[in-house]
Amino acid sequence: MTKLISQRVIASLLSLLGLLILVFFLSRLTGDPAVLFLPIDATEEMKTQFRALHGLDLPILEQFGRYVWDFVHLDFGESLRKARPAIDVVLEAYAWTLPLAGITMGLVVVAAIVLGSLAAFNVGGFFDRLVSIVSLIGASAPDFWIAIVAIVVFAINLSWLPTSGVGTPWHWVLPIAVLFIRPFGLIVQVVRGSMLTALSAQYVKTARAKGVKNLPIIFVHTLRNAMLPVITVIGDQAAAMLNGAVIVETIFGFPGIGKLMIDSILQRDFNVVLAAIMVTALAIFIMNILIDLAYGLLDPRIRN
């Protein structure tokens, strides 16, 4: 298990370096920040001073070298827009995104495991067909379309919920509901398929022959053996939720990391963009390592 974790850490560090290189150079192709930040009538002298102040007049490789050095020391520079440390701006946005993603994934995991397991136990029945149809629709529907329809129906036509903001718990309902649908649709299908395989095992037939009730068979004897592929998909969807929140947060005006990244890209605020991407990447890599640890807890063969 230690060897597996070591390999994962090394692979994550190499991926992080590759991402650092890619994002840094691609962000420099979007335009000159001096042109965006300064007034239209700004003189060339003003633009030169601006570039010198923020190190944008240095050769591109030297800028990258300085950025790597600062990144190693967890220094992402200052936000060009807010004149504050970029990492502070990013962490403030994450303070909104993490609860949103955490609550949503918690609801998704519980609902998907329960409904997927029950559907597999009643394979071919009405409940199984209903869960399969709902999950397929949820997995196929695009987030932006669901978000727009939800606003039109529940916020505008019915006036049940607010359209945007975070002032009250009601402001969280639509973003959570929209983020819930796609990962639920994907995870419940994996749970159902994995449970179907586990339920056909000999030990399940033995438990039934001994008179064990249905619920213990599903949630005690079978679920643990069916969880390995489910954990993989849960981890993938949790990572995708951090990235997918970009669209949902922008539509609902939710002040999380997704909206911050979009605003920073449009404003050429390079330091915030890079800080947001690298912090997100670190979170995803840590999540992958936790998934590997969960594998070891569920399957003793992986620990050897």
**Domains: count for the chain:** 1
Higher-pLDDT residue of 71, 126: 126
Would you give the distance in Å from CA 256 to the centre of its chain? 12
**Is residue 249 a part of any domain in this protein?**
yes
Q: Does residue 270 register a pLDDT over 60?
A: yes
**Is residue 23 a part of any domain in this protein?**
no
**Is residue 55 a part of any domain in this protein?**
no
**Is residue 35 a part of any domain in this protein?**
no
**Is residue 7 a part of any domain in this protein?**
no
Please compute the mean of the pLDDT values over residues 53-77 and round it to a whole number. Answer: 78
CA 39 – CA 26 distance, rounded (Å)? 25
Instruction: Give the CATH number for residue 274.
Output: 1.10.3720.10
pLDDT tens profile 26-47: 766 666 667 766 777 777 787 7
**Is residue 10 a part of any domain in this protein?**
no
CA 48 – CA 32 distance, rounded (Å)? 11
Reported pTM:
0.76
Within the chain, what is the greatest distance between any pair of CA atoms?
86
Query: What's the confidence (pLDDT) of residue 210?
Result: 67
Contact at 8 Å (CB) between 169 and 93?
no
Q: How big is the chain, counted in residues?
A: 304
Higher-pLDDT residue of 26, 217: 26
**Is residue 42 a part of any domain in this protein?**
no
Task: Dihedral sign for Cα 154, 157, 161, 162, please.
Answer: positive
**Is residue 114 a part of any domain in this protein?**
yes
In 3-state terms, what secondary structure has residue 66?
A: helix
CA 101 – CA 241 distance, rounded (Å)? 7
Q: Which residues form the domain of 109?
A: 86-303
Residue 236 — pLDDT band, cuts 50, 70, 90?
A: confident
Q: What DSSP string describes 117-148?
A: HHHHHTTTSHHHHHHHHHHHHHHHS-HHHHHH
Q: Does residue 302 register a pLDDT over 60?
A: no
pLDDT tens profile 135-175: 888 888 888 888 888 889 888 888 888 888 777 888 888 88
Q: How many CA atoms lie within 13 A of 231 on its CB side?
A: 19
Contact at 8 Å (CB) between 187 and 180?
no
Query: What's the confidence (pLDDT) of residue 108?
Result: 92
Residue 80 DSSP code: T
Query: What's the confidence (pLDDT) of residue 107?
Result: 93
Please compute the mean of the pLDDT values over residues 260-281 and round it to a whole number. Answer: 80
CA 183 – CA 196 distance, rounded (Å)? 20
